[in-house]
Amino acid sequence: MVLQNASAGKFGRVFGGDTLHSWLFYIKTPEFITGLAIALFFTVSSFLGVYFVPYDPNAINLSNSFLGPSMTHLFGTDYVGRDVLSRTLVGGRVSIEVGISAGLLVVLIGGTVGVVTGYYGNVLDMAVQRSVDVILAIPTIVFVLVLLSIFGSSLLVIILAVGALAWPSLARITRAETLSLKEREFIHAEVLAGASGAHIVFRHLIPNEISTFAVYSGLAISNAILVQAALAYLGFASSSVSWGFDLFMAQQYIIRGSWWMMLFPGIALTLTSLGFYLMSEGLRRVTGK
């Protein structure tokens, strides 16, 4: 029980008891604070930007079509006269919704499956690992496009499709950690004390792998944002105000010199994905995962 408490104490120092100190420590890492600032800026602007953007992002004014960046329209206008700055600031809502929702789904499924199969092993572990091999062999974009063709391009379908293909990687990572953790003395002590498998999984294994979940969630969100934008770029957009859709529409006007229509949404998309990645990298450096 001493070893168990020691482990719990270590966990508490990282994510539990001294929470304020722990998070202040994370914020000191340049990767985390930079990523947090970027992610917060685009998240807030995407969800609340409609209240402070200079123009209605959907307002059409054909007489202002293809205007370059100026003091009136800082990012220029698109092919139907809509303000590119306004559309860029609010265009990340769908991508961020998909990214965060799919990221949480990945952690929920991948983390649970990895811990459970790693602890119980045997036939269950072998069956899940073979399933993981099959899923990892499926090209993400191709699989998602097939699902969208069958079930439609609703936001829920996109979230489920992206999450369904991303969880196996986390499952393998958490399974490996679980295989190591279950050989620790405090786990053996719990088994000898008569603790049930569910108690050990949810009371000891999952809490000791929270840092892994946190690190991987940032990567999953970053990747899901890019996948959603790619789907919108290919024409599977659930909203007409999104970075991927704007990139899709802007590509045909690049040849006529309207570079701003693609440049600014592309930068916003890249920075948002990078922001969540940097948060993950900052956590990784602190936790050593």
Spatial CB neighbours of 110, under 8 Å, sequence gap ≥ 6: 166, 167, 168, 169, 170, 171, 174, 216
Spatial contact of 210 and 115, defined as CB atoms under 8 Å apart: no
Closest CA to 114 of 204, 178, 165: 178
Query: Rounded to whole angstroms, how far apart are CA atoms 206 and 211?
Result: 10
Tell me how far apart the alpha carbons of residues 26 and 127 are, in angstroms, rounded to a whole number. Answer: 38
3-state secondary structure of 90: helix
3-state secondary structure of 24: helix
* Long-range own/partner contacts, residues 65-73 (CB < 8 A, 24 or more apart): 66/253, 66/256, 66/258, 68/258, 68/260, 69/260
Supply the pTM of this predicted model: 0.84
Residue 238 burial by Cβ neighbours in a 10 Å radius (0-12, 13-18, 19+): buried
What distance in Å separates the CA atoms of residue 81 and residue 261, rounded to the nearest whole number? 11
pLDDT of residue 289: 63
Identify which of 195, 209, 38, 190 has the alpha carbon closest to the alpha carbon of residue 116: 209
* Nearest Cα to Cα of residue 273 among 219, 209, 210, 216: 219
Contact (CB, 8 A) for 91 and 247:
no
Which residues of the chain have a pLDDT value below 50? 1-20
Q: How far is CA 197 from the centre of its chain?
A: 30
pLDDT at 18: 42
Domain architecture of the chain: domains with CATH: 2-21+97-261 (1.10.3720)
165 vs 135: CA distance, rounded Å: 6
Per-residue pLDDT reduced to its tens digit, 270-289: 999 999 999 998 888 877 66
Rounded to the nearest 5°, which phi and psi values hold at 235? 105, 0
pLDDT digits (tens, 9 = 90+) for 133-162: 888 888 888 888 888 888 887 888 889 888
